[in-house]
Chains A and B, each alone.
Chain A
Amino acid sequence: MKRGKFWAWLTFALGAAYFIIPLLATMEFAMRMRRGTYSFDAFAVVFGDPRFQATFMYSVVAAIFTILLGVLIVVPTAYWIRLRMPQIRPVIEFITLLPLVIPAIVIVFGYIRMYGSNSPLPFLGSARGTDALLVIGYATLALPYMYRAVDTGLRTIDVRTLTEAAQILGAGWTRIITRVILPNVLIAVLSGAFLTFAIVIGEFTIASLLNRPAFGPYLQNIGANRAYEPAALAVITFVITWGCMTVIQLLARFAPKSANRPN
């Protein structure tokens, strides 16, 4: 027991070192900008850069649309499957896992070839259309996470019973979805939303290949041309990711606990 505890502490300490040292080093590097002293100059430069503000805002908006699209596609589907079509669940689950197997670069390559300006669906023919395709690509990337989060949420609340109870009380479909199901899976949807946000905000491959002015390509550009700003940007991105994960954890505390099932 004593010996085991020693090894456990050692493993933990090694892991902690591997994960914390790069963060400290990055912070230190970002603060080296002014010669001879530590300063937050790099952060000031980054925040003051209009391109930072523009690309970051662009990615935030893209993330919001991605979340909306993801919710629109995933929530009704997951609900309908739990309620009426459990037999096709394996198919749906398989499809939602595909983006983990097919690399993003392959998916976007397919988009570029299929939806070019001369194709029947010329998404790439206009800037708005390309924005839409970017959001669609992001929704595909986030699909596995969104689906899992929502499905888990639906499982704990037992949608079938809730729906039947609402129907017996005379509720119509709109009312059932907006008043019964959504409030109960809201937490799960929000968890999925923040995870989506974390994935999408700094995404590089799709945005770059679609030539969108997003945060990811901006990061890459700064990385290729500047010395200290990239480190500052890495710190900022880490803080954003951390924030998203913290929100998800906080949300989990408010998630409805399984009420009418023993496990």
Chain B
Amino acid sequence: MTTDITRIEPGAVVRPGNPPARRRTARMPTHWLGVAPFFLFAIMFLILPTGYLVVGAFQNPQGGLTLANIAALWEPTIRAAYWISIKVSFASAVLGALAGLAIAIAIVRGGLPGWVRGATLTFSGVASNFAGIPLAFAFLATLGRLGLVTILLKDVFGFNLYATGFNILSFWGLTLTYLYFQIPLMVVIITPAFDGLKKEWGEAAATLGATQWQYWRMVVIPVLWPSFLGTVILLFANAFGAIATAYALTGSSLNIVPILLYAQIRGDVLHNPHLGYAIAFGMIFITGMANVFYIWFRTRSERWLK
């Protein structure tokens, strides 16, 4: 799509009358001037602040180099927080991706009427952005001790949800809540990928004798797998950094990393500012590694992509 632009060498648009020599010397700076505000912004408010924390994670209060902060991440409370965060993010990303995929397949391939697809996509756009504190309120009103579903289950079906050990403030409660934005996000991203599958591929496979399953195994899954995995990673990062929902849902009773970091920022509860940096570094490291894995996987599996 961009080939026609990249093919034309930069600077092809020149006002007439500029002698070539002057143009050449004047070109570099003016060029970079156009993107300077962006880079300035990115460096000052995205890269430097992050870098500051990363560097701080490897320093002791005197400014010397140390790995002690990183080692301290293995303390039981911190390690437990990372572990719960990873579990919730992973579970909500994978379950959300699978459920989102199923819905996408149903609306794209299921032969449902056209309005179903339109309505699902519109709603998914809304729900994928309905996160944070209000989402926690909604789930408390649904599955909290006085929530509608909890009460209906008890009064109508005689089923006491909370007697089963279920708690909205638990791992599964949080995962179930996160799914409310994870599933629609998957639907919104993967549906266009399904539209990119050409009808003729399926027909060609059929004339070559392939069953529906063989076609999926040999063509559809390999073609969609990178987008799918990329979205899972995105969902993972999405849940891993989220704090508002969990905070409003559980207060500080569920010890996930962002809440731990939040408490540390507010009140230095760990009594070591550099340990806070290390926790932040750990968060970037985990989402970053997930992305590195994705990029590595993509370059390996997508030799067929330009």
Contact = CB atoms under 8 A, between A and B. Distances in A.
Interface of A: 1, 4-5, 7-9, 11-12, 15, 18-19, 21-26, 28-30, 72-74, 76-77, 80-89, 92, 95, 98-114, 136-137, 139-140, 143, 155, 160, 163-164, 167, 195, 198-199, 202-205, 209, 216, 219-220, 223-224, 230-231, 233-234, 237-238, 241-242, 244-246, 248-249, 263
A106 B241 contact: yes
B102 A22 contact: no
A112 B266 CA distance: 11
Nearest to B107: A12
Interface residues of B, number: 86
Given A139-B41, A198-B129, 6 more contacts: A7-B106, A19-B180, A84-B10, A109-B49, A110-B280, A114-B48
A150 to B, nearest CB: 12
B141 A30 contact: yes
A105 B106 contact: no
Contact of B56 (A74, A113, A195): A113
A102 B99 CA distance: 26
B31 interface: yes
Contact of B130 (A7, A109, A216, A241): A241
A101 B141 contact: no
Contact of A102 (B13, B50, B116, B147): B50
Interface string B214-249: 000000000000000000001001101111100110
Contacts of A233: 134, 137
A101 B45 contact: no
A205 B5 contact: no
B276 A105 contact: no
B251 A224 contact: yes
B138 A8 contact: no
Contacts of A98: 42, 46-47
Given A231-B137, A245-B125, A8 B110 contact: yes
Contacts of B265: 105, 108-109, 112, 209
